[in-house]
Amino acid sequence: MLQEPEVSVKRLFHIQKNVNQHWVGDGFPVRTLFSYSVLESATSPFLLFDYAGPMEFSPTEQRRGVGEHPHRGFETVTIVYSGEVEHRDSSGGGGKIGPGDVQWMTAASGLVHEEFHGRDFARHGGMLEMVQLWVNLPAKDKMSPPHYQSILDSQIPAVSLPNGQGSVRVIAGEFDGTAGPAHTFTPINVWDLRLTGEQLIDLAIPDGYNTLLAVLKGSVRVNGYETIGTAEVGLFERVGNHIRIESAPDTTALLLCGEPIDEPISGSGPFVMNTAEEIRQAKIDFQNGKMGKISH
């Protein structure tokens, strides 16, 4: 008879925050809550986390956003909480997403893309709140063909937590036997948590995975006394197979965990590869038009 594995709680070792906001184009007021350039292997396979908003935009007929720019070597994951985002890229991918929807773009060997507020949203104005996550690719997949996944809110399963403690939307990976719709290159869990209670919430996390808890609204108390507040990210040690949340009233958070990609990282702006030579080649390829053009 198989025994249940002993529960070992992951220790929270760091809380990362950034109060400084910068603009990406003229449509996305962003705080970068973590970046591989600072935290390195502690967040792998996740490279960067940008939190845009919440900000109220007035109505306009202009296109707000960021125009054509390249990427190579990783994936971008855009999750909209309020507002609307339109995307187009040189591989033919594109679409419009609204609240609850996700765009999962695999840049891989390279593409050019653009991101703007949805036309209807811009015309009427309103609150914009979204996150964009960069996910690294292992060396063997960095030069694979680009790919685009449009994942609608209706396609994302939600699992209720016990005792009315809230729910977990499973975007990628698996939670409590429920699988998310996103295809990933390495084992990753992306869970959108809506937490409502004061009772203990116990989440099973694979031992050896890097685990990050990004709080977007409210606060979360873990380990009995440490609090992760709004626009803060808690980093947990790899050792352990659970995290315990003691209190999370009216909280929205993203739990990110994944098998680390323990390979060298060399990055420059929109390119993340393994060596400086590969970065140099990416710049040359982009300048020579090898990452394509967006059809207008």
Q: From CA 222, how far away is CA 244, in angstroms rounded?
A: 6
**Is 87 annotated as a binding-site member?**
no
Q: How many CB atoms lie within 10 A of CB 162?
A: 11
Q: Provide the residue type at 42 as one letter.
A: A
Is 71 labeled as ligand-binding? yes
Q: What domains are defined for the chain?
A: 12-60+70-83+117-137+154-258 (2.60.120.10)
What does each of the 296 residues of the chain score in pLDDT, given as a tens digit? Answer: 445 568 899 999 999 999 899 999 999 999 999 999 888 789 999 999 999 999 999 999 999 999 999 999 999 999 999 999 999 999 998 889 999 999 999 999 999 999 999 999 999 999 999 999 999 999 999 999 999 999 999 999 999 999 889 999 999 999 999 999 999 999 999 999 999 978 889 999 999 999 999 999 999 999 777 999 999 999 999 999 999 998 788 999 999 999 999 999 999 999 999 999 999 999 999 999 999 988 76
- To the question of whether residue 124 is assigned a binding role by annotation, the answer is no
Q: How is residue 214 written in tokens?
A: 């990004």
- Write the CA distances from 202 to 219, 236, 248, integer angstroms: 16, 14, 12
Q: Would you call the peptide bond into 45 cis, given omega within 30 degrees of 0 as the criterion?
A: yes
Q: How do 210-217 and 226-228 pair as beta strands?
A: unpaired
pTM assigned to the model = 0.95
3-state secondary structure of 2: coil
Q: Any binding-site annotation on 242?
A: no
Q: Are 65 and 25 in contact (CB under 8 A)?
A: yes
Stated as kind and residue range, the H or E segment containing 222 is strand 220-222
Q: Of how many residues is the chain composed?
A: 296
